[in-house]
Structure 1
Amino acid sequence: MSIWTWLQDVIGRVRWMDVLVSAGIMAIFVLLNRFLVRYVFSLVNRKNREKERTLLWEEALEKPLRLFVVVLGVYLGLKYLFSVRWETAIALDGLFRSAVILLIGWSLLTLSNRSSFLLEQLSKKIRLDDSSMLIPFMSKVLRFVVIALTITLIGTEWGFSINGLVAGMGLGSLAIALAAKDTLGNIFGGIVIILEKPFSKGDWILTPSVEGFVEDITFRSTKIRTFADAVVTVPNAALADQPITNWSRMGKRRVTFTLGVALDSDRERLAAAVERIETGLRENDKIDQTTILVKFTEFQQSSLGLFFYFFTKTTVWAEHLAVRQEVNLAVMKVLEEEGIRLAYPAQRVLLEEGAAWNAEEEGLRSVSSAG
């Protein structure tokens, strides 16, 4: 039977009164969908005192609910029009159930968004900061699961059995596992990184292979922006097996060095300089007062070593350098006022008196023989 013949048959069977009633049913639901949804949320608002939470739920579910009301109206109208007269009515039930599954999946996708109310509440309960990558990672996992379940349920609704697919996957599971070994390793590596949380988004980290700021973590890899402004993508499996130094977790930043001063420095002046430098560090509000060490610790070949060990309160690189410069200038001032000179590379040659006399005689003999 051609489509034209089928349409003629349908038109011949249709009663125009049924068409009008069906169109009226659809129009009622289409025109009143906003009102009906608002009424439902108003009832919820009366029972729920937390208005902020209700508004978030309303924002996530309003559009799917309004579309559901429209779909329901269209379904009821067509159901009335085709009521048990044609086999088309049977297909309507499948279409309606598929549409409902799609709307539920849409709602769940909205709720699984990283900025959704549910995940925000979860982050507050487990006390996650804004830079945590756990919520974005969970959002991606939930969205993948929702999409997979939606497709599976719709396929089942239309008679597509997944049993054969599962059986086929069982037969080829070994080959799939071997082929996806690296991918699965990266996914589990990402889960380990997120759960153990050695770093957060925006942290400055150092590994044996890369150093830079963490930009993002995905199922397979972590993106790190280096100081050269290049983005390095590191597989999660490799990153999880490497030692990771998180410089952003420093509560304070260390400064340690040994300063060489001249070997002929006066002992009393050197002791006074060391005491003044240490006192200056303890009076500096930019220096952490827990550990401050300024000591004359060693005799070197061409200098005397003054050992410095302290921490700046700031961990920001530029501010840390500014504090170090301030301290260095203060140290130079103290040394100048105490008359202590900085050491410079030098080499002394000592000749014994007899050796010098013999060298002089040899020189005179050479001159005489030449004359």
Structure 2
Amino acid sequence: MNVNWRLWEYISVDNWIDIGISVGIILLFLLFSKIFTKYIFFFLVKLFNKEKTELFKQILEAYEKPLRWLFIIIGIYIAVDYFPYFEQDHSLFEHLIKSSIIILIAWGLYNLSSTSSILFMKLNDGVGLEVDQIIIPFVSRGLRFVIIAITISVILIEFDYDVTGFIAGLGLGGLAFALAAQDALKNLFGGVVIIAEKPFTLGDWIKTSSVEGTVEDINFRSTIVRTFAQALVTVPNSTLANEAITNWSKMGKRRITFNLGVEYKTPKHKLEKVVKRIEELLRNHDEIHQETIFVNFDEYNNSSLDILLYFFTKTTAWGEYLEVKQDINFKIMEILEEENVSVAFPSRTIYMDQDHQEVVEVNEETHD
């Protein structure tokens, strides 16, 4: 009790006043931080929205939280000047304040380098160089890694750490690291190959020997593909780079081909007319690609006379493709009904030999 009483006696009234001022300054700047976020920042974002300056708006949003913390750091820096038991010009304190500001700057740059940043939408408006969607997440992660590495290096320099020796030490351990991370390096270079060759982009429907689905993301190690069963499949970039990739989204048109079998009893003139009318149907259909259309009497099958249909739809979207295919099928049915031609299906006719009690099976077309 005597020790505590002596400690309270040691703290003078002036010191208590200085401590109160320090605490008050910190609380005041905390209030400024909240006011900035609620009013000033909101006003600036609204202003840039009116001026349609999307880039400045994103810069503001990226630095929203760093600016809030900047108020607090400034408050702490000013408060320490009044605090009786700590010197503002102390070297460690100065290093901490400078390092904090460096971190806030890096924090904003880190937010600005997100995949949704407008900076990746167009590198140079004058040149009109559009950035492919698949490059954006890859470059974003690369930039963020560089920002973090530079930030750590600058902070180490601020604390008088020999960064050159640190980098040299990394160089000596580089061989061991490379040996230990061969798979990671393979995947990294695989990702570079995919981005350079651009066999697909984000949102494309691809098929490989290991996966089929829609590309959702690509990073340094792997590519994320969502299957049509809504499962997420992570494929290492090194594997994907060495596989044959079918990009269904890059189709300019979509193929439809099948054999239409009609009965053997169909007369020649009716068969010719059906073939001609089906071809005319395809030639005059707005959704059928006119470059390649084949409608021909193809072969004598076991149970039918087969007409080969081979053509393409203009659309490549799966749902629209099915709609066009259905429309063609219905109209072919109408042609067959109008020409009184029936579709054949496999049948089996059994003949009984009365004398030898043997059964003979003969395949022929179905009769109405």
Is the structural similarity TM-score above 0.5? yes
State the partner residue of 2:73: 71
Q: Which residue of 2 aligns with 1:126?
A: 129
CA distance in 1, matches of 2:271, 2:61: 72
User: Residues 146 and 325 from structure 1, CA distance in 2 versus in 1: closer, same or farther, beyond 3 angstroms?
Assistant: same
- Could you tell me which residue of structure 2 aligns to residue 234 of structure 1? 235
Shift of 1:235: 0.5
1:181 aligns with 2:176: no
Q: Is the 8 A contact 1:137 1:218 kept in 2?
A: yes
Residue number in structure 2 paired with 1:138: 139
Q: 1:192: Cα distance to partner? A: 2.6
- Return closer, same or farther for 1:310/1:127 CA change in 2, 3 Å cut-off: same
Alignment check: 8 A CA contact 2:66 2:104 kept: yes
Q: Deviations over 1:338-369 (max 9, x none)?
A: 343444447999xxxxxxxxxx9xx7xxxxxx
Q: Tell me, yes or no, if structure 1 residue 100 matches structure 2 residue 101.
A: yes
Which residue of the partner structure matches residue 307 of structure 1? 308
TM-score by length of 2: 0.75
Shift of 1:177: 1.0
Aligned to 2:213: 212
Contact 1:282 1:289 in 2 (8 A): yes
Paired with 1:236 and 1:51, the residues of 2 have a C-alpha distance of 37
What letter matches 1:54 in structure 2?
Answer: F
Q: Does the 8 Å CA contact 2:137/2:217 hold for their aligned counterparts? A: no
Deviation at 1:19, TM superposition (A): 6.2
| Corresponding residue SS for 2:63 | helix
Q: Cα distance, 1:58 vs. partner?
A: 2.6
| Paired residues of 2:257 and 2:311 also in contact (CA < 8 A) | yes
Q: 3-state SS of the aligned residue for 2:130?
A: coil
Q: 1:223 deviation in Å? A: 1.9
Change (3 A) 1:278 1:78: same
Largest Rg, 1 or 2: 1
Deviation at 1:61, TM superposition (A): 2.5
Q: How does 1:246-257 map to 2 (within 5 A)?
A: 246-257=247-258
CA 1:117 to 1:231, structure 2 compared with 1: closer, same or farther past 3 Å?
A: closer
Contact 2:122 2:130 in 1 (8 A): no
1:162-181 aligned at under 5 Å gives the runs 162-181=163-182
Distance 1:273 1:291 in 2: 19
Question: 3-state SS of the aligned residue for 2:195?
Answer: helix
> What TM-score does the superposition give when structure 1 sets the normalisation length?
0.74
Secondary structure of the 1:202 match is coil
For the 8 Å contact 2:66–2:108, the answer to whether it is kept is yes
Give the CA deviation at 1:174. 2.0
Aligned residues: 338
- For residue 56 of structure 1, report the CA deviation from its aligned partner: 3.2
TM-aligned CA deviation for residue 216 of structure 1: 2.2
Distance 1:338 1:191, change over 3 A: same
> In the alignment, does 2:324 pair up with 1:323?
yes
Quote how far apart the aligned CAs of 1:228 are: 3.4
Q: Which amino acid letter does the alignment assign opposite residue 261 of structure 1?
A: V
Q: Is the 8 A contact 1:192 1:240 kept in 2?
A: yes
**Equivalent pair of 2:115/2:140 in contact (CA under 8 Å):** yes
Instruction: Give secondary structure in 2 for the equivalent of 1:208.
Output: coil
Gaps of 5+ in 1: 350-359, 364-371
| Aligned sequence identity (%) | 47
Maintained 8 Å contact 2:15/2:84: no
CA distance in 1, matches of 2:228, 2:206: 11
Instruction: Give deviations 1:62-96, integer Å, cap 9, x for gaps.
Output: 4423533442343244257679x969722221111
What is the rounded CA distance, in whole Å, between the counterparts of 1:169 and 1:55 in structure 2? 39
User: What is the CA–CA distance in structure 2 between the aligned matches of 1:229 and 1:60, rounded to whole Å?
Assistant: 33
Judged with a 3 Å threshold, the aligned counterparts in structure 2 of structure 1 residues 51 and 335 are, in CA distance, closer, same or farther, namely closer
Residues of 2 paired with 1:213 and 1:123: CA distance?
Answer: 29
The aligned residue for residue 158 of structure 1 is 159
d(CA) in 2 for partners of 1:81, 1:121: 50
Residues 1:123 and 1:342: Cα distance change in structure 2 (over 3 Å) = farther
Q: Over residues 89-139 of structure 1, what are the superposed CA-to-partner deviations in whole Å (9 max), with x where a residue is unaligned?
A: 22221111111111111111121122234334549753357xx23222222
Kept after mapping to 2: 8 A contact 1:302/1:345? yes
C-alpha deviation, 1:237, in angstroms: 1.0
CA drift at 1:154: 2.2
In the TM superposition, residue 308 of structure 1 has moved relative to its aligned partner by: 0.8
SS in structure 2 opposite 1:198?
coil
3-state SS in 2 of match to 1:307: strand
- The answer to whether structure 1 residue 60 and structure 2 residue 62 are counterparts is yes
Decide which structure has greater helix share: 1
Return the letter of the residue paired with 1:216.
D
Shift in Å, 1:317: 2.4
Shift of 1:211: 1.3
Aligned equivalents of 2:324, 2:331: Cα separation in 1: 11
